[in-house]
């Protein structure tokens, strides 16, 4: 998720950037932030599809945040704009540009958390990740890259879509706790969860993934597992 912040006050810009970064860390979101203090610089870099969310200060110098929003709308009508302002008096004008929301400066942590909660709930492409401790190093792995996770003794093997295996001390229950709100993951047997986007077929009690790797399915739950896969695929159509 790419986020832009435009505020001609450098301190305000840094404060907002810190709050957004903290939210991303707490919610396992992979983000990049590009901060600008000059409208001209932002507009020279802006292009359709570059930013997922744009925070715009309203009161700046010769070029206001409203002027910038007007320019954005000419290039990308559906860009998610969040205005930053010291006064709500300008908000009727601001919402002419179909802003997603606004925040009163100075930005407060609870308000930024609420805004980003609302934003991530409506954005279809927000990418989350898990952090694994592998050989005493931290590895960030996108949810979408996880193909399967299985227990191996006291360890957890997490395999990505390219076949790379990351062995971590994380337990399966800890992983499931992080993934519980993501509908693509399914438990197919004790100690095994798979990403349904990687399932090619289930045949004779075996789950076959896209790379032809195979994992046993709990036979007593085979009907429910097949139904869950069918429901998931139907929901994506």
Structure tokens at 142: 């996108």
Which residue shows structure tokens 């949810």? 143
Give me the half-sphere count of Cα atoms (radius 13 Å) on the Cβ side of residue 82. Answer: 23
Nearest-angstrom CA–CA distance, 22 and 214? 39
Nearest-angstrom CA–CA distance, 45 and 51? 11
Nearest-angstrom CA–CA distance, 159 and 148? 5
Read off the pTM.
0.64
Q: Please, what are the domains in the chain?
A: 2-122 (3.40.50.2300), 134-236 (2.40.50.1020)
Element (H or E) spanning 11, and its range?
helix 10-26
Angle at the Cα of 224 from the Cα atoms of 144 and 216, rounded to 5 degrees: 65
Q: For each of the chain's 237 residues, which pLDDT tens digit applies?
A: 899 999 999 999 999 999 999 999 888 888 899 999 999 999 999 988 899 999 999 988 889 899 999 999 999 888 899 999 887 777 777 778 888 999 999 999 999 999 999 998 888 666 778 888 888 888 888 888 999 999 988 899 999 999 999 999 888 888 888 887 788 999 999 999 999 999 999 999 999 999 999 999 999 999 999 999 999 999 877
Nearest-angstrom CA–CA distance, 121 and 131? 22
Backbone φ and ψ of 224, nearest 5°:
-65, -35
Query: Under a CB-based contact definition with an 8 Å cutoff, are residues 175 and 191 in contact?
Result: no
Beta strands at 129-134 and 137-142: parallel, antiparallel or unpaired: antiparallel
Which residue shows structure tokens 């957004």? 20
- The SS3 call for residue 162 is coil
Nearest-angstrom CA–CA distance, 22 and 29? 10
Return the DSSP state at 29.
Answer: B
Query: Under a CB-based contact definition with an 8 Å cutoff, are residues 3 and 116 in contact?
Result: no
């Amino acid at each position: 998720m790419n986020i832009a912040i435009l505020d001609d006050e450098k301190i305000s810009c840094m404060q907002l950037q810190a709050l957004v970064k903290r939210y991303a860390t707490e919610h396992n979101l992979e983000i990049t932030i590009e901060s600008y203090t000059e409208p001209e610089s932002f507009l020279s870099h802006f292009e359709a599809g570059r930013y997922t969310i744009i925070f715009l200060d309203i009161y700046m110098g010769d070029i206001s945040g409203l002027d910038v929003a007007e320019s954005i709308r000419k290039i990308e009508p559906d860009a998610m704009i969040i205005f930053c302002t010291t006064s709500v008096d300008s908000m009727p004008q601001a919402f002419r540009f179909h802003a997603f929301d606004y925040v009163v400066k100075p930005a407060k942590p609870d308000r930024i958390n609420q805004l980003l909660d609302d934003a991530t709930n409506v954005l279809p492409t927000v990418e989350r990740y898990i952090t694994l401790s592998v050989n005493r190093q931290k590895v960030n792995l996108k949810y979408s890259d996880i193909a399967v996770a299985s227990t191996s003794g006291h360890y957890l093997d997490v395999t990505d879509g390219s076949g790379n295996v990351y062995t971590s001390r994380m337990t399966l229950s800890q992983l499931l706790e992080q993934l519980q709100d993501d509908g693509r993951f399914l438990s197919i047997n004790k100690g095994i969860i798979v990403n349904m986007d990687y399932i090619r077929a289930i045949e004779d009690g075996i789950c076959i993934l896209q790379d032809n790797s195979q994992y046993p399915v709990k036979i007593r739950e085979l009907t429910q597992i097949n139904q869950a896969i069918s429901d998931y695929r139907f929901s994506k159509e």
